[in-house]
C-alpha cells in the first residue's frame, strides 16, 4: 500500500513527538553540564544560548505540526479528502512558519559547527573558509526554498512543487557542510590524539572523535533520506522532515554532553586559557586537558616539548 501525504504528515508528527522527548531529556542534561562548567568559571553562555534557542525553536516546530495535523483531520470531517486538500496548500502562514523554524534550527546548528571548526584549527580563517562559504550558500538555498512556498499554487502537487525540488539543494549543501566540518574537526583532534598517545587525554580525544562521527552519521543519514525522497517525490519525505528538527537538537546536545560530561574540574593548568573566556567545547577541552595531561605525565622530559608544540598548533 502506497503511503499518502496526509498519512506521512501524521506519522511524521507522531515520530517528531517521540524524538522531541529524547531532545527534551538531552537539553536538560546539556543545560546541567553547561551550568556545572559555568560554575567552574568557564564562559558557556554562547553554547547555552544556542542550546536554548534550538530547544525553543524545536518546541515551536512541534506545536505548529500538531496544529496542522489537528486542523487537517478535524476541521472539515464531513468533506471528502479534507486532509489531502489541507496539506495540498503549502503557502499558508502555518506552512511558512514551520519551514522558517526548521531553517532557523538548521542554520544555527550549521553556524556553530563552522565556528567550532574555526576554533579547533587555532582560529584559522583559512581552515574555515570553505565551511563558511558553504554556510553562505546554505543561507541562500534556505531562503530560496522558503520563498518558493509563497509561489506555490493550491493546484500544484506538493511533491512536485518547486519548493520540494529546491529544498533538496538545501539538504545537499547542509550535508556537505556538516560532513566537511566533521572531517576537519575530527582530523584535528585525531592528530592531537596521535601526539599524546598513552595519556589519559588520548582516550578522551578518541571518545570525542567517536561522538562526532556517530552524531554526524545519524544526521547525515537523515539528510540523505531527505534528498532521496524529495528527488523521487515520495510522501515518506514528510515522515523524515517532520522529525529532523528534534534530531538536530539531540545531536547538538550529544556533542556537548559527550565532550564535557565527566571532565575533571578546572586546575592550575587552566590559566593557559584564562585570558580566552570565549573558548568553545573543543577549543577548551583539547587545549587545557592536553596541557594538564602531558605536564602531569611522569615522563616529562620528552612530553613537555610535545605539549608546547601541540598546544601552539591548536590555539
- The domains of the chain, with CATH numbers, are 5-263 (1.20.1070)
DSSP state for residue 4 in the 8-state scheme: P
Full-model pTM: 0.82
Whole-number Cα distances in Å, 9 to 84, 146, 239: 10, 19, 6
Of the listed ranges 149-163, 180-194, 228-242, the least confidently predicted one is 149-163
CA 260 to CA 71: how far, in whole Å?
Answer: 43
Q: For 205-224, write each residue's pLDDT tens digit.
A: 777 778 888 888 899 999 99
CA 116 to CA 147: how far, in whole Å?
Answer: 30
Q: For 138-154, write each residue's pLDDT tens digit.
A: 999 999 999 988 887 76
Of the listed ranges 80-84, 99-103, 311-315, the least confidently predicted one is 311-315
3-state class of 37 per DSSP? Answer: helix
Asked if residue 46 has pLDDT above 70, the reply is yes
CA 206 to CA 192: how far, in whole Å?
Answer: 10
Q: Where residue 282 falls among pLDDT bands split at 50, 70, 90? A: very low
Which H/E stretch holds residue 88?
Answer: helix 82-88
Cβ neighbours of residue 5 closer than 8 Å, sequence gap 6 or more: 84, 87, 88, 158, 159, 235, 238
User: What's the start-to-end Cα distance of the chain, in Å?
Assistant: 57
Report the phi/psi class of residue 127: left, alpha or beta, with left for phi > 0 and alpha for psi in -120 to 50. alpha
Asked if residue 184 has pLDDT above 90, the reply is yes
Mean pLDDT of 245-249: 97
Amino acid at each position: 500500500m502506497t503511503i499518502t501525504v496526509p498519512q506521512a504528515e501524521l506519522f511524521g508528527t507522531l515520530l517528531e513527538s517521540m524524538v522531541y522527548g529524547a531532545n527534551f531529556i538531552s537539553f536538560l542534561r546539556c543545560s546541567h553540564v553547561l551550568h556545572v562548567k559555568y560554575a567552574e568559571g568557564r564562559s558557556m553562555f554562547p553554547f547555552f544560548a544556542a542550546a536554548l534557542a534550538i530547544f525553543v525553536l524545536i518546541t515551536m516546530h512541534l506545536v505548529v505540526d500538531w496544529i496542522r495535523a489537528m486542523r487537517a483531520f478535524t476541521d472539515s470531517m464531513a468533506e471528502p479528502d479534507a486532509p489531502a486538500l489541507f496539506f495540498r496548500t503549502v503557502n499558508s502562514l502555518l506552512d511558512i512558519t514551520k519551514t522558517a523554524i526548521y531553517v532557523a534550527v538548521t542554520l544555527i546548528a550549521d553556524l556553530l559547527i563552522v565556528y567550532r571548526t574555526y576554533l579547533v584549527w587555532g582560529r584559522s580563517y583559512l581552515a574555515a573558509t570553505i565551511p563558511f562559504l558553504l554556510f553562505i550558500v546554505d543561507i541562500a538555498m534556505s531562503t530560496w526554498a522558503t520563498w518558493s512556498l509563497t509561489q506555490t499554487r493550491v493546484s500544484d502537487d506538493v511533491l512536485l512543487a518547486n519548493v520540494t525540488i529546491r529544498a533538496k539543494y538545501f539538504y545537499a549543501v547542509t550535508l556537505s557542510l556538516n560532513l566537511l566540518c566533521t572531517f576537519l574537526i575530527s582530523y584535528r583532534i585525531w592528530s592531537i590524539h596521535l601526539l599524546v598517545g598513552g595519556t589519559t587525554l588520548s582516550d578522551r580525544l578518541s571518545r570525542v572523535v567517536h561522538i562526532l562521527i556517530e552524531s554526524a552519521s545519524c544526521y547525515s543519514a537523515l539528510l540523505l533520506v531527505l534528498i532521496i525522497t524529495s528527488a523521487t517525490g515520495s510522501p515518506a519525505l514528510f515522515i523524515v522532515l517532520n522529525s529532523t528538527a528534534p534530531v538536530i537538537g539531540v545531536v547538538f546536545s550529544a556533542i556537548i554532553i559527550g565532550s564535557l560530561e565527566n571532565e575533571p574540574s578546572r586546575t592550575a593548568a587552566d590559566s593557559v586559557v584564562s585570558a580566552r573566556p570565549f573558548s568553545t567545547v573543543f577549543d577548551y577541552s583539547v587545549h587545557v586537558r592536553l596541557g594538564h595531561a602531558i605536564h602531569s605525565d611522569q615522563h616529562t622530559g620528552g612530553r613537555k616539548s610535545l605539549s608546547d608544540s601541540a598546544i601552539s598548533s591548536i590555539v
